[in-house]
Chain A
Amino acid sequence: MPATAVQGALAQSPLLLFVLLAPVVAALIIVFLPKEETKMIKIVAAMGTFVALALSLYLFFAYNRVAGGAQFTLTIPWTKDLGVNLAFGVDGISLPMLLLTNLIGFSAIYSSWNVDKRVKEFFVLLLILITGVMGTFIARDLFIFFLFYEIVVIPIYIMVIIWGSTKRVTKEYAGMKLTIYLLIGSAFLLVGLIMLYLRAGSQGHPTFMFDQLAQRQYLYGPNFQKIVFGLLLFGFGTLISMFPFHSWSPDGYAGAPTAVSMIHAGVLKKIGGYGLIRLGLMVLPIGAKFWAPVIAVLAVSGVLYAAFIALAQKDLKYVIGYSSVSHMGYVMLAIAAMNTTSINGAVGMMFAHGVMSALFFSMIGFIYEKSHTRNIADLGGLAHQMPRLATGFLLAGMASLGLPSTINFISEFTIFMGTIKVFPVLAILGIAGIIFTAVYTLRVIANVLFGPRRPEWDHLKDLHGPELVPLVVFVVVIFAAGVIPNLVFGLVNSGVISTGLAKVLQTLGQVQIGGLF
């Protein structure tokens, strides 16, 4: 078995490149289509993302979980002097994220099926956005990772400003806030990454490769690790909307068009959690250990703080926006707990929350598109007119409050299991969050879906045709992965065990016992 594993790691596989290029090719085709052909543009976009989705599903099932490690790798040296490689590959941590990106990307096309303003530009930007997010997850090279991350920011800004909506804040403000906030975060990130790169290359052979950066840990002293991890924490923490750097998130989601909200809440902010695990824990474990208590306190504060604020919201998107801040608190708490169980939970939760929030934003998008309001008080009794939409909304809500048989439950449970030994008090406070999550979710469901029939909404048409795609895709994933948790968690666990993360965490645990700190 090890022999094949090594072989698998060295063999060049073009599959990931195909996954990455599928939306790019679709975008290029769209560029050459006349802009009146809106139907054709949408079909091409759907086909491009479908190919990417189908390929990543194939990867998901073809990945050898026993062997583990980076598979389907492709390494093309780029600039030898700087040590930049165009290196792709997936393991048990990045593959679920890749699948998630494509699930959401594919569905986001259908959630935008009714876009009629500048259709061509919209779908080109959307496809670039999807490509960028995918790139960050399959990159095995820090430089490529950061490159793709920066690619992502541009389409988001343009899309919010042109196709966004103005409610509590103007869409211009929302877009500006989102972009500037994330750019400032990434500036700190960049400083940290360059410091890391310089230190890793201080004895020659500069490299950006994740695994080599991790192997050269002996070069990073404790103080260095603390400083660099602090910078990463600010950058990635902002991205994952960690309290108190979260305020871009509700405004940003509210201003953004549906597809951007779905991708942003669903996968983009997960880059923060992913980065903290991939770089923070694997490369700078001592720094992570130092910051862990801070992260844990901020995380639990975020869980409760955002859940309470969600109670006071009147706009649907703000509820889900704050709810996602609250849920990301669980991910951060799990990362701070730094053991294999909790990291399993963190990755599982990122996947679970991604699917759930995308479903939620997609349903809210349809409600807004049809009724032109997101004000909870103006809505009500929508289950009478739109039973299918109501089903999707209800199931999203149930996933959000962690109902068993959804993947969200098992992820939360794993996180709690992993954290309760490490931070008992904080974990209990965090678990109390499930009560308030239930309160705001059930209130929204009750006030939007149920109650007497309102004649003013009688003209609304239920979901039909292409609009059903996001509903079906996400519900199937939420429940399939929730009823058979090994489906996703088997892969995640293989990632946690085989990537050396488990070893790092184990060493750290022993270090603590040895009283080194």
Chain B
Amino acid sequence: MFTEMHSLYEWAWVIPALPLLSFLLIAFVTKRSKGLSAAVSILAILCAFGLAIAIAAGVIGSGSEIVKHPVITSINWLDISGLKLNFGTVVDPLSTMMLFVVGLVASMVQIYSVGYMHGDRGWSRYFAYQSLFAMSMLGLVIATNLLELFIFWELVGLCSYLLIGFWYHKVSAREAAKKAFMTTRVGDFGLLLGILFLFSKYGTLDFVHLAALMNGTAQGLALAGGVGYITLTAFLLFVGPIGKSGQFPLHVWLPDAMEGPTPVSALIHAATMVVAGVFLVARIYFIFQHAAPGALEFVAGLGAFTAIFAATIAIAQDDIKRILAYSTLSQLGYMMFALGVGSLTASMFHLMTHAFFKALMFLGAGSVIHALHEKQNIWDMGGLWKKMPITGTTFAIGVLAISGIPPFAGFWSKDEILSAALQNGHPIIYAVGLFTAFLTAFYMGRLFFVAFMGPEKKENHPHESPYWMTVPLIILAFFSTVGGLVALPYHNFAFYVRNYIFVNGVVSLGTFTHEGMAWGLAGISVLFGLAGLVLAYMTYVTQTVKAEAVAARFPGVYKLLKNKYYIDEIYLWIIRNIMDGVGKVLYWFDIHIIDGVINGLALITRGGAGGLRRVHTGQLQTYALVFFLAVVVIFLAYTMGSGQVSALNPLAMLGGVK
């Protein structure tokens, strides 16, 4: 079985190549035909998705064989003195899972977009960008080395930039796109440094080689100048994910990114690109494990902080997409701290289920926005469930899934993260995670009850969206419902999705053991989730708890949350006053000091020339006199120079120096 599939795995490069082909086709051939552009794009991503499913089936069939021996195919990309880099594909359970998730969500979003983007002037451009994004993201997940990953990492960033600013006539979209690029660029600076640090010590960026080198502990560590160096590298590398996956304090771009079309938010800013940071940490998890414990503790702490920080903001937001955006930040924090507490598999599991239900909810929100003609404030909605039954029901599934109610997908993954936190000895993080779960259920309940239940608004005339949009919703709802069952019966998901650290000859962390669910802990987290939903129900449906009264009692807190802790304002102040200020000061310096010196020299030269001009009197006698004097001086200098008085002879002086 394994060898038969082997040849298929070597064709993994076709998966990103198909959307690339579609991008080129749309850009150069079909851009004038709307129908063709969409058809090409969707066909390409569906074929890629089909291939991803075939590979996934093969990987599951191969069992533990592929966990131990990932299939790597690569060719040389750059070969110069001191720098040799390959490009290739790796097929292992982790990349297969990502291929499946990205392929699924990307196909659903593209199909959905046919309905959502109907009538948009930039139709072909939109599908071209979508294809380019699909290529970059699919390439990212099967990258074999850090530089290859970084290249695709930047390319998904570019697509994100282009798609956030897709409606570039809007100033807000333009600014949001710019902000997203700049903020993630700060993260990329750290990531790039980390890559350079790694390469300059190990001479390779290949994940497998790096893992092997580091696993040969004593030698590997000596080579790398000790744990300190690896720790520093790990921190630098982690700056990249902080930017990309919206961890505090570089989270500010993600809520603004909601300026893009909603399907884009679903695909890029919820399900796939933003989890690239989590995926990266998972890929290079062995580096964190070899670093000082502080590195993983930092990941856990920052993740947990982001989780609760974003969840609190989400409570006070009114824009449906922004609530979802802060929820995404919070869930990304969840995935991060799962990695930090040492459960790579729980993190990856949550990444997958989150992709299902968050994409579902974003697309559901898009369906609502579409029906209400671009209204995004949840207080302008109400009673939508009756008018839009498919959207409403699927959205409800999403809410239940994210709130961790069994048997929906989110329950399984969230529970696994929380139990990992507690069992690996991080009670505080467990508590934060549990409270965040409560907050999550509360704000998602708030969103759902206000927008979908509540009283209908007369001015709205919503209709259910076309099939182009509802069918993807139903498919994603299906996965949000049953997606978590892959964990059964004995953490089967975790069995597959492991990383090189467990294999490659030297097994440093012990082999995987099947274990059952921790049902007691699961019960507690379900209780917290239910409590959140019930509280939201009481506040926004039966109104036994008055939201206004609570807000009025804590005006400061409410204002702080509403304004997102003023982080944006702080950044703005720094940019306006410090960065631009330095720019202006230096410009002044450049014009007046550096250029001033040059112009001053020029003026002196001119003044000197003016003085010298007077020498040119035009009188022959003066010239003759000067000529004669000069001859005398030269003669004196010459004779004296060859004589004893060498002090007067400049040539002799030079000789003295020599």
A residues near B (Cβ < 8 Å) are 177, 180-181, 244, 247, 305, 308-313, 339-341, 344, 381, 383-384, 398, 401, 403-405, 409-410, 413-414, 416-418, 420-421, 427-428, 431-432, 434-436, 438-439, 442-443, 445-446, 449-453, 485-486, 489-490, 492-493, 496-497, 502
CB–CB B199/A442 < 8 A: no
Bound form: Cα–Cα A401–B579 in Å: 18
Interface residues of B in 151-210 (CB under 8 A from A): 151-152, 154-155, 158, 165, 168-171, 173-175, 177-178, 181-182, 185-186, 188-189, 192-193, 196-197, 199-200
CB–CB A341/B82 < 8 A: yes
Q: B353 to nearest A CB, angstroms?
A: 31
Q: A498 to nearest B CB, angstroms?
A: 11
* Residue of chain B at shortest CB distance from A447: B174
**Neighbour of A414 across the interface among B80, B185, B598, CB < 8 A:** B80
CB–CB B181/A312 < 8 A: no
CB–CB A446/B169 < 8 A: no
**B502-510, B554-562, B583-591, B626-634 - the one binding chain A:** B583-591
A247-B595, A383-B168, A417-B82 known; A312 vs B150 contact (CB < 8 Å): no
CB–CB B171/A451 < 8 A: yes
**Does B624 interact with chain A (Cβ within 8 Å)?**
no
* Residue of chain A at shortest CB distance from B187: A435
**B71-79, B262-270, B292-300, B517-525 - the one binding chain A:** B71-79
- CB-CB under 8 A from A421, the residues of chain B are 200
CB–CB B200/A344 < 8 A: no
CB–CB A309/B80 < 8 A: no
- CB-CB under 8 A from B580, the residues of chain A are 311-312
**Neighbour of A417 across the interface among B175, B199, B582, CB < 8 A:** B199
- CB-CB under 8 A from A446, the residues of chain B are 165, 174-175, 177-178
CB–CB A497/B81 < 8 A: yes
Most buried by A among B150, B155, B173, B586: B586
User: Which 9 pairs from chain A and chain B are nearest by CB?
Assistant: A341-B82, A311-B583, A404-B151, A312-B583, A340-B81, A450-B168, A493-B80, A450-B174, A312-B587
CB–CB A435/B598 < 8 A: no
**Does B56 interact with chain A (Cβ within 8 Å)?**
no
CB–CB B80/A492 < 8 A: yes
A404-B150, A404-B155, A434-B192 known; A309 vs B590 contact (CB < 8 Å): yes
Most buried by A among B147, B181, B188: B181
CB–CB B158/A438 < 8 A: no
- CB-CB under 8 A from A453, the residues of chain B are 169
CB–CB A308/B582 < 8 A: yes
**Does B612 interact with chain A (Cβ within 8 Å)?**
no
- CB-CB under 8 A from B165, the residues of chain A are 446, 450
Most buried by B among A309, A384, A401: A309
A312-B580, A403-B154, A435-B189 known; A485 vs B168 contact (CB < 8 Å): no
CB–CB B200/A398 < 8 A: no
CB–CB A452/B78 < 8 A: no
Q: A310-B583, A409-B151, A497-B81 are in contact. List 18 more A-B contacts (CB 8 A).
A: A177-B598, A305-B586, A308-B582, A308-B586, A311-B580, A340-B82, A405-B155, A413-B192, A416-B192, A416-B196, A435-B186, A442-B178, A445-B178, A446-B177, A493-B80, A493-B81, A496-B80, A496-B81
**Neighbour of A451 across the interface among B76, B151, B169, B602, CB < 8 A:** B169
Bound form: Cα–Cα A449–B579 in Å: 23
Bound form: Cα–Cα A244–B174 in Å: 35
* Residue of chain A at shortest CB distance from B186: A435
Bound form: Cα–Cα A492–B80 in Å: 8
- CB-CB under 8 A from A311, the residues of chain B are 579-580, 583
CB–CB A485/B185 < 8 A: no
Bound form: Cα–Cα A429–B25 in Å: 41
**Neighbour of B178 across the interface among A309, A427, A443, CB < 8 A:** A443
**Neighbour of B182 across the interface among A244, A409, A413, A439, CB < 8 A:** A439
Q: B407 to nearest A CB, angstroms?
A: 42
- CB-CB under 8 A from A383, the residues of chain B are 168
Bound form: Cα–Cα A428–B239 in Å: 15
CB–CB B169/A452 < 8 A: yes
**Does B83 interact with chain A (Cβ within 8 Å)?**
yes
Q: A431 to nearest B CB, angstroms?
A: 6
**Does B594 interact with chain A (Cβ within 8 Å)?**
yes
- CB-CB under 8 A from A313, the residues of chain B are 587
Bound form: Cα–Cα A62–B173 in Å: 48
- CB-CB under 8 A from A428, the residues of chain B are 193
Bound form: Cα–Cα A339–B168 in Å: 45
CB–CB A490/B82 < 8 A: no
- CB-CB under 8 A from B598, the residues of chain A are 177, 181, 247
CB–CB B83/A341 < 8 A: yes
Most buried by A among B78, B170, B175, B193: B78
Bound form: Cα–Cα A449–B169 in Å: 10
CB–CB B82/A339 < 8 A: yes
- CB-CB under 8 A from B174, the residues of chain A are 446, 450-451
Q: A392 to nearest B CB, angstroms?
A: 14
- CB-CB under 8 A from B181, the residues of chain A are 438, 442
* Residue of chain B at shortest CB distance from A339: B82
CB–CB A405/B151 < 8 A: yes
Most buried by A among B80, B182, B579, B590: B80
* Residue of chain B at shortest CB distance from A497: B81
A–B pairs, 17, beta carbons within 8 Å: A181-B598, A247-B598, A310-B583, A312-B586, A340-B81, A341-B81, A409-B154, A413-B192, A416-B192, A427-B196, A431-B189, A442-B178, A446-B175, A449-B168, A486-B79, A489-B78, A493-B79
- CB-CB under 8 A from A309, the residues of chain B are 583, 586-587, 590
CB–CB A308/B169 < 8 A: no
Q: Mark B220-243, 1 if CB is under 8 A from A, else 0.
A: 000000000000000000000000
Bound form: Cα–Cα A383–B150 in Å: 29
* Residue of chain A at shortest CB distance from B596: A247
Bound form: Cα–Cα A485–B85 in Å: 10
A405-B151, A420-B200 known; A490 vs B79 contact (CB < 8 Å): yes
- CB-CB under 8 A from B168, the residues of chain A are 381, 383, 449-451
A312-B587, A340-B82, A404-B150 known; A442 vs B182 contact (CB < 8 Å): yes
- CB-CB under 8 A from B590, the residues of chain A are 247, 305, 309
Q: A495 to nearest B CB, angstroms?
A: 11
- CB-CB under 8 A from A384, the residues of chain B are 169
Bound form: Cα–Cα A201–B199 in Å: 45
CB–CB B81/A438 < 8 A: no
A247-B590, A443-B178, A452-B169 known; A344 vs B584 contact (CB < 8 Å): no
CB–CB B79/A312 < 8 A: no
Q: A309 to nearest B CB, angstroms?
A: 5
- CB-CB under 8 A from A405, the residues of chain B are 151, 155
- CB-CB under 8 A from A310, the residues of chain B are 583
CB–CB A486/B78 < 8 A: yes
Most buried by B among A305, A383, A449: A305
A177-B598, A404-B150, A413-B147 known; A439 vs B579 contact (CB < 8 Å): yes
Q: Mark B582-626, 1 if CB is under 8 A from A, else 0.
A: 111011001000110010001000000000000000000000000
A339-B82, A442-B178 known; A417 vs B196 contact (CB < 8 Å): yes
Bound form: Cα–Cα A434–B186 in Å: 9
- CB-CB under 8 A from A439, the residues of chain B are 182, 185, 579
Bound form: Cα–Cα A449–B165 in Å: 11
